[in-house]
Amino acid sequence: MIISKTNVPTLKKIRKTIKSATVLGTIVMMLSCSNEDFNQSSISENSNGISIKASLVSGHIYTIKSVHSNKYLDIAENGLNNGVNIIQSSYSGTPDQQWELISADNEQYELRNVLSEKYLSVQRRSILNGGNIQQQDHRNSTHQKWQLYQVSSDQYNIINVRSNKALDVEDWNTIDGGNIQQWSYAGTNNQKWIFSLVDDDDEIEEPEEGYDIRTILSKFDGTGLSYEISGDNVIFTSSDLPNHTSPYWPSSNPLHSDYTGTNPNWRMNPNEIAEQNIVLTIPLYPAEATNHEATPLGAMGIARNGIVFFNQYAGPDQPLTNEIDSFDQWLGHPTGTDIYHYHIEPTYLTQQYGTDAFLGLLSDGFPVYGPVENGEEITNEDLDEYHGHISVTADFPNGIYHYHITSNDPYINGNGFFGTPGNTTF
């Protein structure tokens, strides 16, 4: 066996969650200090002379807390209608205090309340000091668009695009229900706001990790069979010579034997076993495909002894019915081009390793198991349309999608590959 060591990508848990405004601020500082390619267009001066940094992330949900009052931007009495007033209130952790940041043109943002799905707006499109802030349906208008100016590591001014006035806690209120208005920029704490990303782990967390079949490769052992790892794939090279007896071996071969099976209708086909050079490139980290490809005529996978698996057809749309009588005592047979293959359970392998054992891989990287699981025979009805299911196996204690070979058509694979097959060449 040849196993080349290569760098294998580490599957990382992807999180877009940053849990505190402090961390958010740190990221801003890192960007502005260490990344020379930092987009200059995202830093500019507004008329109040404050630098803009577009460090908040559009599409994410934030709470917005007043630096002055430590209270949160909220909709009054959880009102869902147009015109409901915007106030400050103590932290609740509920959607009425959560705002989705939506990127508009020119570094302008809209803020949509998660509970009401309405937008932070200046009442009556006022451009005056004291203009009230309320929620309204989306209007694609500047009285609903805001620029965010970072004034310290975690604090922002929120400036209305139409009025160029700042979101402001009216009369320096500190009470629950204190009103929010717009006012000329003053640089004071009642105009500074802390954005904190809402922890939405539950929505977006990726699966713990993908499937990884590297541990199963050591079970492959056959005549003229080798494999090597190349990037995200394993490349099998097989001479496709069975490690067992068959009447299809040339009579000069020591493994040549008479038919010793039990099929009373046995008849030999005119072909014989001959050495091949089959190369199968198979993904090491298989995943479900979006479009499930049909299995090809010819090799659709490789058994652990290097013999290729064929599907449930003898030819285009031809069932195996007539071919079955030419299967040898281990239920394989050669094609007209002398490629030996299994369409159904390779009984040499299940006799050797057990009827519940790992038997090989299909070209999409998902493993093939025998007809028994947990002491029970698996039937077609236990499996999905591709002829597999997800469960724990002896080799994959965390569970994996796998095919089972059953005793009835379609035997190994049903209506196509579960994953995306790699290449096979002869």
Which residues of this protein are in contact with Zn ion, per CB under 5 A? Answer: 373, 391
| SS (HEC) of the chain | CCCCCCCCCCCCCCCCCCCCHHHHHHHHHHHHHHCCCCCHHHCCECCCCCEECCCCCCCCEEEEEECCCCCEEEEHHHCCCCCCEEEEECCCCCHHHCEEEEECCCCCEEEEECCCCCEEEEHHHCCCCCCEEEEECCCCCHHHCEEEEEEECCEEEEEECCCCCEEEEHHHCCCCCCEEEEECCCCCHHHCEEEEECCCHHHHCCCCCCCCCHHHHHHCCCEEEEEEEECCEEEEEEEEECCCCECCCCCCCCCECCCCCCCCCCCCCCCCCCCCCEEEEEECCCCECCCCCCCCCCCCEEECCCCEECCCEEECCEECCCHHHHCCCCCEEECCCCCEEECCCCHHHHHHHCCCCEEEEECCCCEEECCEECCEECCHHHCCCCCEEEECCCCCCCCEEEEECCCCCCCCCCCCCCECCCCEEC
Closest distance of CB 110 from Zn ion, Å: 50
Residue (89 or 326) nearer to Zn ion, CB = 326
Residue (78 or 391) nearer to Zn ion, CB = 391
Residue (328 or 373) nearer to Zn ion, CB = 373
Closest distance of CB 426 from Zn ion, Å: 15
Closest distance of CB 306 from Zn ion, Å: 17
Closest distance of CB 26 from Zn ion, Å: 47
Residue (61 or 302) nearer to Zn ion, CB = 302
Residue (193 or 342) nearer to Zn ion, CB = 342
Q: Which residue is nearest to Zn ion (CB)?
A: 373
Residue (110 or 373) nearer to Zn ion, CB = 373
Closest distance of CB 289 from Zn ion, Å: 19
Closest distance of CB 139 from Zn ion, Å: 56
Residue (364 or 373) nearer to Zn ion, CB = 373
Closest distance of CB 263 from Zn ion, Å: 15
